[in-house]
A = this chain, B = another copy of it.
Amino acid sequence: MSGMYIICLSGEREKLQFAAMAASVAAVSGTDVHIFLSMNAFPYFIKGHSKEAPAEGKLGEAMAERKVPPFYQIFEQAVELGDAKIWACSMAMDVLGVKEDGMEEIVAGPLGLTKFFSDAEGGQILTF
């Protein structure tokens, strides 16, 4: 595949978890993976922000009870083991007044949507 481009918008546990699993699975299979953080998925990647996302429903609650590895840890593995890149939406940074050094270390840097879509040409775009 010529790359997987994952857009994370939702701040709910189930969506973040699945996005992280998708990133991890694709990255360790050798696919070029890029994650674009925006909207309510964005704040979890601000330094010091809680990494616990509220469950949307039954599955999200069951995952916590079963001690499934949380989404943030899976994203870390995708970056460390699979060389996935996590990008911070520059619009979201502006709106929340966050600078580049206010983002967690696993974030590769800020990115605009125009560049993300241009890079994604020919790849798979997934939205969560």
Return chain B residues, CB-CB under 8 Å to A81: none
Tally of chain A residues near chain B (CB < 8 A)? 47
Do B59 and A113 touch across chains, with their CB atoms under 8 A apart? Answer: no
Oligomeric state, in copies? 3
Return chain B residues, CB-CB under 8 Å to A122: 1
Do B1 and A18 touch across chains, with their CB atoms under 8 A apart? Answer: no
Interface residues of A, dominant DSSP: helix
- Residues on A lying within 8 angstroms of B by beta carbon are 1, 4, 7, 9-11, 14-15, 17-18, 21-22, 25-26, 29, 31, 38-40, 42-43, 56-60, 62-63, 66, 68, 91-92, 94-96, 113-114, 117-118, 120-122, 124-128
